[in-house]
């Protein structure tokens, strides 16, 4: 075999597959509303773009330190202090080419072959692939709709063995849109401490949070957690900078140092221009204004979407409190037929929906075949039209 065993075992992205089908239909002149988006539909704010132009003008186009510029790391240290009450030294910060990279580095830094990594399911589809690539073993915990798909302390305790190294936690969550409360995190932290495990805490949707929810980083909950948590975050979602590829992590010093060394041989520094602009993104007061504006728009769409979805029979949407996704149990419709497609799970459901001009992500991609994910990172007009189509589709299934 030409391709290595490790790499050949990576699953192709189901999300990309659906998106490609939808694109093809659009190219053929068929109207498709895409509910698949995984990035904010806002332009990167002007003040950040201007900063990148300045970086080019002043020739900030060379290698930087592999783990990121001191200026950006200082801005990140300040962010952690201001937003999360977490105190880090600049040497504990590593900036990478996107949070995805930070996650991969974090996993590689603490996982030995066959170490078990607990992944609450449903999960963001990249986690298992990264754990497998790093040689670890995924242990999925089915969290269940009863607790809004959040892992409980009890479930965590039951999943831990003497091979467990860490838990991957994601709040606000993709794909479910749920947010862990402080009480839930305290209970989880207690188990982690009792059993001596690490947490990789993916907080990339921190700023997209609604109603009275408050984002709490598990690293703040005790000295043990601070010493055993790698916090991952980035500018992609908060500042609508997905294409700029800047993510970062904060970790205990020894881990941060190891990751810096690793990165110095794999990618070297992330793009110098993006780092310069990200420093401005985090430091300039325009940032908070932009986030507040974006959050307000997402919140309006979220409310509208959830309200409409709750009125559609047979489906059970989960009320989202963060990120920009609605996770919906559509399993009551399985067994129905549409245009010759027998709906047996979330994949065939997504295929049939596509025939009605709606692209959505099947839950099987996230480990939950009963559900689908709709993103509200599209215009209100598209949401309205898309939901009209969705409602018609569900009604036709039941006719
Ligand atoms: C839960 C989660 N973590 C991490 C990322 C990766 O972010 P980045 O674009 O900075 O690599 C995403 C992107 O979709 C995500 O949904």
- Report the CATH number that the domain containing residue 31 is assigned in CATH: 3.90.1150.10
Check if 99 has its Cβ closer than 6 Å to any atom of ligand 1. yes
The answer on 242 and 124 residing in a single domain is yes
The Å distance, Cα 368 to ligand 1 centre, comes to 19
Residues 250 and 371 in one domain: no
Helix axes 380-398, 346-355, angle to 10 degrees: 110
Domain check: are 279 and 295 in the same one? no
Query: 241 CA distance to ligand 1 centroid (A)?
Result: 11
Query: Which of 284, 309, 341 finishes a domain?
Result: 284
Mark whether 148 and 265 lie in a shared domain. yes
CATH number at residue 173: 3.40.640.10
Three-class SS state of 356: coil
Q: Is 124 in the pocket of ligand 1 (CB under 6 A)?
A: yes
Residue 342 lies in a domain: yes
DSSP 273: H
Residue 174 beta carbon below 6 angstroms from any ligand 1 atom: yes
Q: What is the CA radius of gyration of the chain?
A: 21
Q: How far apart (Å, rounded) are the C-alpha atoms in residues 277 and 246?
A: 10
How far, in Å, CA of 328 to CA of 373, rounded? 6
- List, for residues 373-396, the tens digit of each pLDDT value: 999 999 999 999 999 999 999 999
Provide mean pLDDT across the span 286-293. Answer: 98
pLDDT at res. 399: 75
pLDDT tens digit string along 55-96?
A: 999 999 999 999 999 999 999 999 999 999 999 999 999 999
Considering its fold, how many domains does the chain have in total?
A: 2
pLDDT the model gives residue 15: 76
Judge if 322 and 271 occupy the same domain.
no
User: Is 214 in the same domain as 171?
Assistant: yes
Q: How far apart are CA 18 and CA 365, in angstroms?
A: 11
Same domain, 266 and 217: yes
Across-strand partners of 300? none
Residue 141 and residue 143: Cα distance in Å, rounded?
6
Of the candidates 240, 264, 284, which is a domain's last residue?
A: 284
Q: Is 100 touching ligand 1 by the criterion CB < 6 Å?
A: yes
**End-to-end alpha carbon distance in the chain:** 50
For ligand 1, atom 13, name the residue with the nearest CA.
38
The residue from 284, 316, 333 where one domain ends is 284
Helix, strand, coil abundance in the chain, percent, nearest 5: 50, 15, 35
Q: Is residue 370 part of a domain?
A: yes
In angstroms, the CA 84 to CA 42 distance is 25
> From ligand 1's centre to the CA of 350, what distance in Å?
23
SS (H, E, C) 118-160: EEEECCCCHHHHHHHHCCCEEEEEECCHHHCCCCCHHHHHHHC
In this structure, are 231 and 354 located in the same domain? no
Same domain, 142 and 272: yes
User: 166 lies in a domain?
Assistant: yes
Q: Which of 370, 384, 385, 367 is nearest to 315 (CA)?
A: 370
Ligand 1 contacts CB of residue 136 (under 6 A): no
What six digits make up the tokens of 304? 């509208």
Quote the domain boundaries for residue 342: 5-43+288-398
pLDDT at 19 over 90: no
Q: Which residue has the tokens 């949407």?
A: 317
Residue 49 lies in a domain: no
Q: For residue 343, report the distance from its CA to the centre of ligand 1, in Å.
A: 30
Same domain, 38 and 94: no
As a whole number, mean pLDDT of residues 333-355 equals 94
Rounded to an integer, the average pLDDT of 230-259 is 98
- Has residue 54 been placed in a domain? no
Is 274 in the same domain as 308? no
| Cα maximum dimension of the chain | 65
E strand or H helix at 375, and its extent? strand 371-375
253 Cα–ligand 1 center, Å: 24
247 CA closest ligand 1 atom index: 10
Tell me, yes or no, whether 20 and 109 share the same domain.
no
Query: Residue 365 gets which letter from DSSP?
Result: G
Residue 365's nearest CA partner among 164, 121, 40, 54 is 121
Domain-embedded: residue 51:
no
The model's confidence at residue 346, banded by pLDDT at 50, 70 and 90, is very high
Ligand 1 atom nearest to CA at 323: 16
CB atoms within 10 A of CB 145: 14
- Classify residue 195: in a domain, yes or no: yes
Q: Measured from the CA of 236, which atom of ligand 1 is nearest?
A: 10
Give a yes or no: residue 48 inside a domain: no
Q: What pLDDT is recorded for position 12?
A: 78
What pLDDT shows up at residue 23? 85
pTM above 0.95, yes or no: yes
Residue with tokens 């989960």: 318
168 lines ligand 1 (CB under 6 A): no
355 lines ligand 1 (CB under 6 A): no
Ligand 1 near 375 CB (within 6 A): no
**Predicted pLDDT of residue 398:** 79
Measured distance CA(323)–CA(80) in Å, rounded? 19
Q: Which atom of ligand 1 is nearest to the CA of 101?
A: 11
């Amino acid at each position: 075999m030409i391709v290595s065993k490790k790499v050949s075992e990576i699953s192709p992205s189901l999300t990309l597959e659906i998106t490609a089908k939808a694109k093809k239909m659009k190219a053929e002149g068929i109207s498709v509303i895409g509910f698949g988006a995984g990035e904010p539909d806002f332009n990167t704010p002007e003040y950040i773009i201007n900063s990148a132009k300045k970086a080019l003008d002043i020739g900030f186009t060379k290698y930087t330190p592999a783990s990121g510029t001191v200026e950006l790391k200082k801005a990140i240290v300040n962010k952690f202090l201001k937003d999360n009450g977490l105190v880090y030294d600049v040497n504990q910060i590593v900036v990478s080419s996107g949070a995805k990279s930070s996650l991969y580095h974090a996993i590689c830094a603490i996982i030995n072959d066959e170490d078990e990594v607990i992944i609450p399911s449903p999960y963001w589809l990249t986690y298992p692939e990264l754990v497998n690539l790093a040689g670890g073993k995924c242990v999925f915990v089915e969290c269940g709709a009863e607790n809004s798909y959040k892992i409980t302390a009890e479930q965590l305790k039951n999943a831990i063995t003497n091979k467990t190294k860490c838990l991957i936690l994601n709040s606000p969550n993709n794909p479910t849109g749920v947010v862990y409360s402080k009480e839930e995190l305290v209970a989880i932290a207690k188990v982690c401490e009792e059993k001596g495990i690490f947490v990789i805490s993916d907080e990339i949707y921190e700023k997209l949070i609604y109603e009275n929810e408050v984002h709490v980083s598990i690293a703040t909950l005790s000295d043990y957690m601070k010493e055993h948590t790698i916090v991952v975050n980035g500018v992609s979602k908060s500042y609508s900078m997905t294409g700029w590829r800047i993510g970062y992590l904060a970790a205990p010093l020894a881990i941060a140092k190891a990751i810096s060394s690793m990165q110095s041989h794999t990618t070297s520094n992330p793009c110098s221009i993006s780092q310069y602009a990200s420093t401005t993104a985090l430091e300039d007061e325009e940032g908070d204004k932009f986030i507040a504006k974006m959050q307000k728009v997402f919140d309006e769409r979220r409310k509208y979407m959830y309200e409409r979805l709750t009125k559609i029979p047979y489906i059970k949407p989960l009320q989202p409190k963060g990120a920009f996704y609605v996770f919906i149990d559509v399993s009551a419709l399985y067994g129905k037929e549409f245009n010759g497609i027998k709906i047996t799970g979330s994949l065939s459901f997504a295929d049939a929906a596509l025939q009605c001009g709606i692209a959505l992500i099947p839950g099987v991609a996230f480990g939950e075949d009963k559900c689908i994910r709709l993103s509200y990172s599209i215009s209100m007009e598209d949401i309205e039209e898309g939901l009209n189509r969705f409602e018609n589709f569900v009604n036709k299934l039941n006719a």
